[in-house]
């Protein structure tokens, strides 16, 4: 998928489906999160590395466009990239594919906060550097 740095496979679980016979709209946000977690593992020592240094990343905003329903047992690939680092904030963009077919896309917006006070705190330099290295390698 052009322009995306990273991807992770997810399988639609039976628990993800609803009585319309398709994956429930909330499941996509969980898949986005799985992709973020694996991205951080691949490029920045894992989300736990943030938490270990007293930083949490909050979700400020989520957006998902559902283009084609996904169904039970579908093998999906969640493509993701991290963009728009500035101050405490950054954004992940996502495209979910089933084979060559784009079934959903969207983004989440985040802010780093101090884990104790939940106040915004600049994204740590080591994390900025890790993300920039990952994204420029993909360019």
Q: Does 128 sit near a copy of itself (CB under 8 A)?
A: no
Q: What is the DSSP letter of 17?
A: B
- Smallest CA-to-CA distance from 92 within 108, 74, 69, 72 is with 108
Distance CA 101, CA 60 (A): 28
Query: In this chain, which of 1, 34, 85, 128 binds a copy of itself, going by CB under 8 A?
Result: 34
Q: What is the DSSP letter of 59?
A: E
Q: Is 130 left (phi over 0), alpha (psi -120 to 50) or beta?
A: alpha
Q: Does 136 sit near a copy of itself (CB under 8 A)?
A: no
Q: Does 53 sit near a copy of itself (CB under 8 A)?
A: no
CB of 20 to a copy of itself, least distance (A): 6
Q: Does 46 sit near a copy of itself (CB under 8 A)?
A: yes
Binding site for a copy of itself (CB under 8 A): 13-15, 17-22, 24-27, 29-30, 33-34, 37, 46-48, 56, 58-66, 69, 71-73, 108, 118
Which residues carry out catalysis? Answer: 18
């Amino acid at each position: 998928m052009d322009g995306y740095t990273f991807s992770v496979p997810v399988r639609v679980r039976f628990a993800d489906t609803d009585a319309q016979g398709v994956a429930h709209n909330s499941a996509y946000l969980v898949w986005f999160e799985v992709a973020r977690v694996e991205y951080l593992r691949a490029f920045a020592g894992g989300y736990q590395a943030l938490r270990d240094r007293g930083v949490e990343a909050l979700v400020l905003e989520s957006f998902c466009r559902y283009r084609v329903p996904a169904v039970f047992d579908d093998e999906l690939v969640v493509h993701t990239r991290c963009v728009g680092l500035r101050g405490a904030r950054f954004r992940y963009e996502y495209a979910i594919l089933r084979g060559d077919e784009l079934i959903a896309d969207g983004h989440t917006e985040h802010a780093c906060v101090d884990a104790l006070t939940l106040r915004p705190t600049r994204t740590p330099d080591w994390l900025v550097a890790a993300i920039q290295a990952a994204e420029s390698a993909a360019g």
